Structure 1
Amino acid sequence: MSRTEYRLITVNTAPERAKCLIGRVVEDVKNRYTIIHVANVERIEDVKETVDRERPNVLFTASMWTPEQAKEIVDIAKGVIPDLKTFSIPQGLQVDKGPDAVVEYIKENLPDLLDS
């Protein structure tokens, strides 16, 4: 049985942190999903171009964005790829509870997102 390969873009102003956290998630779920982190976007203005270039099927917004900014990012990305699966980490999760909480939150919500 071949598995879907998910191409993931993160939108995070701290690219090294995004890479590290996503790396942990990818490792933890590799028996169930194949996720390739193809790019990180640091600025909202760069979302359209990056989504157009990388053609992801999943996009995550990080916890430093306000709900309004996360919605703007998702709207821009879906303007390029309408059926893109998107996931926004709640604002402040990283600051309030740390990176482990972010990894756990993503893993808890990943099946609903990817299997939908």
Structure 2
Amino acid sequence: MPDVRKGPFKLVTVNTAPERAKRLIGRLIDGLHDRYDIEHVANCENIEEVSLKVKQHQPNVLISASMWSSEQAEHIRKIAEQEQPGIKTHAIPQGLQVEKGPDAIVGYLVENVPPLLDTIKTEKP
């Protein structure tokens, strides 16, 4: 039976806590694995790394964590789009991790990432 999952998608995160980013995105990937083929290719620990890592990995999607203000998230989005026109970006609402914890982040991503992925055209190898 052919693979009915969409993708593959390359995802980059912007999170000052790389291990937490890896864990939470791992849970997202597990939660969506039956519908989407997602690979977490890199994490940027600061805004300065965004340009290089987007250039290096050419991701389809970039997600900025909830520690960034809306202004910082907008700056991250602009950098990513400059390096990779057509990249899809999503900013987790500021403070969500602190206020509601990691389960809320995973739930938020499982709800909000699929509509984003559905707008991306990918080629099956």
Q: TM-score, normalised by structure 1?
A: 0.97
Residue 110 of structure 1 pairs with residue 118 of structure 2: no
Percent identity over paired residues: 55
Aligned residue identity for 1:93: L
**Deviation of the 1:4 alpha carbon:** 1.6
d(CA) in 1 for partners of 2:26 and 2:114?
17
Aligned residue identity for 2:57: E
**Deviation of the 1:110 alpha carbon:** 1.5
In structure 1, the residue matched to 2:12 is 9
- Aligned Cα root-mean-square deviation (Å): 0.9
- Structure 2 residue runs of 5 or longer lacking an equivalent are 120-125
d(CA) in 1 for partners of 2:45 and 2:58?
17
**Deviation of the 1:112 alpha carbon:** 1.3
Aligned residue identity for 2:114: P
d(CA) in 1 for partners of 2:12 and 2:109?
14
Q: TM-score, normalised by structure 2?
A: 0.90
- Structure 1 residue runs of 5 or longer lacking an equivalent are none
Question: Aligned pair count?
Answer: 116
Give 1:49-60 correspondences, 5 Å limit: 49-60=52-63
d(CA) in 1 for partners of 2:60 and 2:91?
15
Give 1:9-48 correspondences, 5 Å limit: 9-48=12-51
Aligned residue identity for 2:80: A
